[in-house]
Structure 1
Amino acid sequence: MRIAAEGGQELPSLETHARYREIEARMRRHAEAEAADLVARQAEAQQRAAQRAAAHAEAEAQAAIERERAAAEAAARQAVACADCGRERSAGLCEACDHRRQTEALIREAGLLAATWSADPSDQVAVAAVTAEVRTAVEAAIAAEWAQFQKITDPAALKAAGPDAVEGAAAHNAFLTAESAAAEYRQQALVMLGRSEDAEAEARKAYATELSKPWHQALPDSDDAQRAATEAATQAQTRTAEHLLAMRLEQLRTQAHPEPIRPAPWSQRLPELAARPLDGETLEVIA
């Protein structure tokens, strides 16, 4: 319709039949141009689709290679014997030995947690006494839990689960008991450090600061003001206890595993040695 209207306006001098023929020619050329444009757009769309399909296929192939590599690495790791007990095909560490390692780490952590508040962190003798006491207590709890587990478990069914089932169950039981004990010692340490002078001083400071705020000054004894001040004091006390616990734990861990002393490199030591005077014996030997 647009082409016919344009033709009527642009070709007013042509006869009717000539004008119609020109309009038809223009419409034909327009249709051909649209058809060519459609074909070009379809070809471009097909090319983009082919590119996407090729990229997808390449990604799938790469993913398959990565899966195969990961499976091969996992199989290689699985074939490695346990580093602790030598059990074959244990990926370097069997589950029971892994639990034993974690249990030992948790027992040590529980001892350090108890020492953060019950011993002077700089007194290694006192720290050692506390950690030894905690170890004895946790190991006794592990033994008691295992005895209780054996009472409620059918030994025949446990043995039927496999030759290593008893050993694995004992290691897992020890890990769970040590994990629970470490959590309890952490909570106890936070409570005791929260009663320290530093924590109580921070709590008093936060309490007074909250009451000094403008919206509490008019009625400092009101329930809302007292509730807000108490909450601020509790939060400050908790934050201080957590900070003290982190600091003391870091100190205790550093003392338990001190940094190795590395000698200075020769480039720094040689000038110092060269500057030292030689004694008589050495001078005689050189002469």
Structure 2
Amino acid sequence: MALGPVAWLWERLSGWQQDQVEAAVKTELTRLEGLLALPGGAPRLLADRFADRLGETGGEALVDAPFPWLIRRGLVQRQACSDRRCDDGIRLDSGGECENCGNIIHIRRGRRARVAAEVDARSRGISAAERQAAIEERLRQLAVVDAEDFVWRRQRAEADQARRGAARAEAEAREERERQAAAAADAVRQILPCEDCGRDRSAGLCEACGYRRRTEALTVEAGLIAATWSADLADPGDVAAVTADVRASLEADTERARREFLDLMEPGELEADPVAAAAALAFAALQAVEAALPEYRGSALGRLGQTEEAETEARRAYRTEQGRRWFQHNPHGAHAVAAASKAADAARARTAHYLLTSRLEQLREQAACTEQVAAASWTDRLAQLAARPLDGDRAGVVIA
């Protein structure tokens, strides 16, 4: 379809020339398909282009050299403007006139009119030929200025692109350095012993101790949650008693979870890998505390929702919703009561969440002020370190 208008020229080509033209046509068809919104229209567009080019030439009979004509004229898209969809002022995607070309023509006509007005104002009484020559000379000068401006803008764009490329390369190099530094730091961290149990090459904290820390943090959190409604927040002894009761309950749950896990293990399986067994037991205890924490939170929200603050907010929301203008005609009707009850429940829940958050923050601040961790003396620490066995690498270093 694309080569239909130039079939007679095709027959005049040699075999090598036909291969070259075929490859060029396929490339152009692929490019045209990328410009169209709907697929399948590229062959018709290229056939129309060949027909237009032949019309400009005067027909196939006037083409003396078919191969150069097809490659350099028939196939070439002639953009009349900067729009890549423009071909001789026609939009390839829509088939209509190129609006960008119209704008350029309008600009050029406006410039020519302004130049003519300037020439007329500056040179009065000159002949028509001299006037035309002056206009053309001024237009050439403006064209030179535009060309210089275009070159300057292109150079600036290239400089900006080079600067962005350099910045991107620098950022990539910096990221690579940071990645290598992080990898080196991680390699150093991997050989550190566990801070809690002293197990070598644990990256500062072994898996089992990590689970134990999380279990301890959640146990403390559960105790504080329970204390928000069942203890006098101004009495540290009362708060400590509640947290102690919660801890005892959770320790019983974790002990039960450990026994259930041990019952599922095969005889001798724990002794085969003590490290993995300790991590598995610690994880079982963590799961038990994680399962109990939502219950403590739900119970606290339920109790805080029954406080005087929550009831006051619920009554206020009930009255506000009941007094809406669309319920004024029947404030005690079924719809009004249902909407008011829903608003009261939402206000009660919001107040309960607010009380829980604020009281937890108060308890954490009190705990941070009163908690004093006694640091072990150097005598005890040195005794513990001396009792720790040395691995082969460290023993070799000490001997050396």
TM-score (structure 2 length as normaliser) = 0.52
Kindly indicate whether residue 214 of structure 2 is the aligned counterpart of residue 102 of structure 1: yes
Counterpart CA distance in 1 for 2:140 and 2:359 is 90
Please, which of 172, 185, 197 is the counterpart of residue 73 of structure 1? Answer: 185
Q: In 2, are the aligned partners of 1:81 and 1:93 still within 8 Å (CA)?
A: yes
Q: Does the residue aligned with 2:311 lie in a helix, a strand or coil?
A: helix
The amino acid across from 1:245 in the alignment is: L
Residue 55 of structure 1 is matched in structure 2 by 167
TM-score (structure 1 length as normaliser) = 0.70
Q: Does the residue aligned with 2:189 lie in a helix, a strand or coil?
A: helix
Residue 122 of structure 1 is matched in structure 2 by 234
Q: In 2, are the aligned partners of 1:159 and 1:165 still within 8 Å (CA)?
A: no
Please, which of 280, 292, 302 is the counterpart of residue 191 of structure 1? Answer: 302
Distance verdict in 2 for CA 1:43–1:243, change over 3 Å: closer
Counterpart CA distance in 2 for 1:212 and 1:223 is 14
Kindly indicate whether residue 205 of structure 2 is the aligned counterpart of residue 93 of structure 1: yes
Counterpart CA distance in 1 for 2:141 and 2:319 is 89
Please, which of 154, 170, 175 is the counterpart of residue 286 of structure 2? Answer: 175
Residue 144 of structure 1 is matched in structure 2 by 256
Counterpart CA distance in 2 for 1:238 and 1:131 is 24
Q: How far apart are residue 140 of structure 1 and its match? A: 1.2
Residue 133 of structure 1 is matched in structure 2 by 245
Counterpart CA distance in 1 for 2:221 and 2:245 is 13
Residue 332 of structure 2 is matched in structure 1 by 221
Distance verdict in 2 for CA 1:120–1:52, change over 3 Å: closer
Distance verdict in 2 for CA 1:148–1:34, change over 3 Å: same
Counterpart CA distance in 2 for 1:33 and 1:254 is 73
Kindly tell me the number of residue pairs found equivalent between the two proteins.
257
Distance verdict in 2 for CA 1:67–1:155, change over 3 Å: farther
Larger radius of gyration: 2
Counterpart CA distance in 1 for 2:140 and 2:312 is 94
Distance verdict in 2 for CA 1:102–1:27, change over 3 Å: closer
> What is the alpha-carbon root mean square deviation over aligned residues?
4.0
Counterpart CA distance in 2 for 1:122 and 1:27 is 90
**Identical aligned residues as a percent:** 49
Q: How far apart are residue 38 of structure 1 and its match? A: 7.0
Counterpart CA distance in 2 for 1:133 and 1:113 is 12
Counterpart CA distance in 2 for 1:81 and 1:36 is 69
Q: How far apart are residue 235 of structure 1 and its match? A: 1.6
Counterpart CA distance in 2 for 1:250 and 1:48 is 52
Distance verdict in 2 for CA 1:205–1:64, change over 3 Å: same
Q: In 2, are the aligned partners of 1:103 and 1:178 still within 8 Å (CA)?
A: yes
Counterpart CA distance in 1 for 2:147 and 2:235 is 92
Counterpart CA distance in 2 for 1:195 and 1:30 is 84
**1:60-99 alpha-carbon deviations (Å, 9 max, x no partner):** 2222212112222222222322111112232322222122
Residue 20 of structure 1 is matched in structure 2 by none
Higher relative contact order, chain-length normalized (CA < 8 Å, sep 6+): 1
Query: 5+ residue gaps in structure 1?
Result: 17-24, 261-287
